[in-house]
Amino acid sequence: MMMFTPEKYKIVDEPQKPFIDPGEISYFLRNTCCDKLKIHDIIAKSQSKVRLGLADVAALLNANAPDVIQEIKQGAQQLKEDIYGNRIVLFAPLYVGNKCTNNCRYCGFRASNKSAQRQTLSEQQLVQEVEALEENGQKRLILTFGEHPDYDADFIAQTVKKVYSVKKGKGEIRRVNINAAPLDVEGFRKVKGAGIGTYQIFQETYHPGMYKVYHPSGKKSNYNYRLTALDRAQEAGLDDVGIGALFGLYDWKFEVMGLVRHVNHLEACYNVGPHTISFPRLQEAASIHINGKYLVSHDEFTRLIAILRLAVPYTGLILTARETAKVRSEVMRFGVSQIDGGTKIEIGAYANTNNNPQNLNKEQFRINDERSLNEIIEELLNQDYLPSFCTACYRLNRTGEHFMEFSVPGFIKRFCSPNAILTLAEYLVDYAPEPTAQKGWQMIEHNLQALNGNTDIEEIRKRINRIKQGERDLYF
């Protein structure tokens, strides 16, 4: 087992970045008061659909009284219901290749892990994986690549095009997102030309000194290049981006502030924030020992989700299968809008019907929710959530600045709830077992009756009937 202990390394801050200043973040965390009245006012500000500043977020982070924390959670839950309703968007990750030249101390794919079993999907294997995903009802994928010369912009673009071309029965992938290494401007233009959805890059930790501790070698060791990656994406015209931090590498409060600062930077410079924020917690991976100093407890995890929801009301929050089914069920109500389902992260695992146990030498980290997509949909229905595979905004150019035009005034529910209903209807007709189908149609009827007067309910019913007659991909 390889052990890493941050305290063994000297932490030296790099020169001040254009928008991440560790001293600024630490100052806010040390000096921002958090009395009950102030917290109440901040929650009210967020619920009026106003972005929070760093001082506001620091106050929420510094609030430790149980009754105040409960108020924060309740405020986040209400805000989520106001903006997103009861929808939960579903997707699946697809690992394409795990070759990597980086040496991230927390990752099973790191270059120094000689036990890792390296593989890149061939074109035939890629098709088999996509077909298996389509046969389960998936419509949205995020393709994940190691950082390696083999996985350049051309390779990513070709892979995306191939995924879109695969049709199995009534199945098709309608949105392909990407999690891959930072690219230069020309590289981002190439992948945008392939028709990708969101390009997702996690900074991992926003603290420059700790970043150096965890990333000792490889291209990823360049903090600045990674931090400015999505600026290059914007320059290339790719305005649909996702950010994230790996919680457990450094103080969770600092990382929340870093994420919010990154959001503010993108909005100030490009008039559009990230489409999504991810907040995975550090999990077991091959041949590493996780030092416990910065691990995030369940209570802290719940708090940070609620605070992020209040801080960025219109940004999608992604909760992954790194977490257990129990944890996901509990924390989802505090702000999460997207989850993965039926997740497998071993390369080639979707087409493998043997259901082998997880092998960390073949995977980046351990996943803790191994339920099938249908099992997750069943639970969502049981908890009165509306499962959604909607991809309409992306294909109607409601992304980036255009997405903000629709979503910030609160009109997005006019599109999203009807489109969620239509995509669920497709799933129920094409893939759902009878018990799931019965619950799903009841959920659709319940949501139809709850829609307000701004929605043409009869038109939605007509489109549902068209789906039952065999038409697909109907959306507003």
* Whether residue 28 has pLDDT greater than 70: yes
* Whether residue 17 has pLDDT greater than 80: no
Quickly state the pLDDT bin for 78 (edges 50, 70, 90): very high
* Whether residue 452 has pLDDT greater than 80: no
DSSP H/E element including 67: helix 66-84
Model confidence over 261-296: pLDDT tens digits? 999 999 999 999 999 999 999 887 656 766 779 999
In the numeric block, which tokens belong to residue 165?
């071309």
Neighbours of 435 (CB within 10 A): 11
CB distance 223 to 208 below 8 Å:
yes
* Whether residue 113 has pLDDT greater than 60: yes
Phi/psi class of residue 355: alpha, beta or left (left: φ > 0; alpha: ψ in -120 to 50)?
A: left
pLDDT at residue 13, as a whole number: 39
Mean pLDDT of 98-115: 91
User: With pLDDT > 90 as the criterion, what percentage of the chain qualifies?
Assistant: 77
Q: What is the mean pLDDT of the chain?
A: 91
pLDDT at residue 364, as a whole number: 84
* Whether residue 361 has pLDDT greater than 80: no
Model confidence over 236-266: pLDDT tens digits? 999 999 999 999 999 999 999 999 999 999 9
pLDDT at residue 453, as a whole number: 67
Mean pLDDT of 96-113: 92
* Whether residue 124 has pLDDT greater than 50: yes
Task: Give the list of residues 6+ apart from residue 470 with CB closer than 8 angstroms, or none.
Answer: none
pLDDT at residue 290, as a whole number: 64
Model confidence over 380-439: pLDDT tens digits? 999 999 999 999 877 777 665 555 555 555 556 677 889 999 999 999 999 999 999 999
DSSP H/E element including 92: strand 87-97
Phi/psi class of residue 39: alpha, beta or left (left: φ > 0; alpha: ψ in -120 to 50)?
A: alpha
Task: Give the list of residues 6+ apart from residue 419 with CB closer than 8 angstroms, or none.
Answer: 388, 390, 392, 475, 476
CB distance 61 to 257 below 8 Å:
yes
Model confidence over 292-304: pLDDT tens digits? 799 999 999 999 9
Model confidence over 134-162: pLDDT tens digits? 999 999 999 999 999 999 999 999 999 99
In the numeric block, which tokens belong to residue 286?
């091959």
* Whether residue 7 has pLDDT greater than 50: no
- Measured in whole angstroms, how far is the alpha carbon of residue 239 from the centre of its chain? 16
**C-alpha to C-alpha distance for 398 and 419, rounded to whole angstroms:** 14
**C-alpha to C-alpha distance for 88 and 382, rounded to whole angstroms:** 13
* Whether residue 181 has pLDDT greater than 50: yes
In the numeric block, which tokens belong to residue 470?
């065999």
Higher pLDDT, 83 or 404: 83
User: With pLDDT > 70 as the criterion, what percentage of the chain qualifies?
Assistant: 91
Q: What's the one-letter identity of residue 225? A: Y
pLDDT at residue 16, as a whole number: 39
Question: Between the CA of residue 175 and those of 271, 296, 304, 340, what are the distances in Å?
Answer: 24, 32, 28, 14
* Alpha helices (H) along 284-386: 298-311, 325-331, 373-382
- Quote the pTM value: 0.93
pLDDT at residue 404, as a whole number: 53
Q: DSSP character for 69?
A: H
